[in-house]
Amino acid sequence: MQIRKATINDSNAIATYLLLAMEDIVYKFLSRNNYQQALEFMLYFVRRENNQYSYQNCWIAEEEGKIIAAVDLYDGSRLWELREPVIRYVREHYNKDFNPEDETQPGEYYIDTLGVHPNMQGKGIGSGLLQFLIEEYVIRQKDILGLLVDEENLNAKKLYLRLGFKPVGRKFLAGKPMEHLQII
């Protein structure tokens, strides 16, 4: 597996993998359970710069020249700057009352979304991406990595704890309680 910074040419795969991880949340953004509209929404933002889902904020994992996973992360201090285009778009096109909770904050690089191709899940791809991010951001850059995990997703939480993440609090995302984890 090779991991590299994403380019705009990776947008279709990135949108697909990010949506795998956050389909229910995007449905709440759009106020409808329509996979095609959710995918178009993700692709719209992945292709554009300076927003929280932009290819600029993504790393991808490849195997034999094929993208098998994508992860989206950004500096938590930029949340509102990066989120503003998303909020404006959602309010104009789908949900005028859209008002998402703060999912991160200054002082951490926030792993917003990580998605792995369904046929590659359970093979260590997600763990490998997370270990790469820990090496790059925590060890090399001396930053803090943070993420949210659904309180009901015990397998994901177990993985994050095994990699060294520690619980630091609780947040809500799209109305759902989430545990906030960080690695320093």
**pLDDT by 10s per residue, the chain, length 184:** 999 999 999 999 999 999 999 999 999 999 999 999 999 999 999 999 999 999 999 999 999 999 999 999 999 999 999 999 999 999 999 988 888 999 999 999 999 999 999 999 989 999 999 999 999 999 999 999 999 999 888 888 999 999 999 999 999 888 889 999 999 9
The model's pTM is 0.94
Residue with tokens 């792995």: 116
Residue with tokens 């938590």: 76
Residues in the chain: 184
Name which CATH class applies to 2-183.
alpha beta
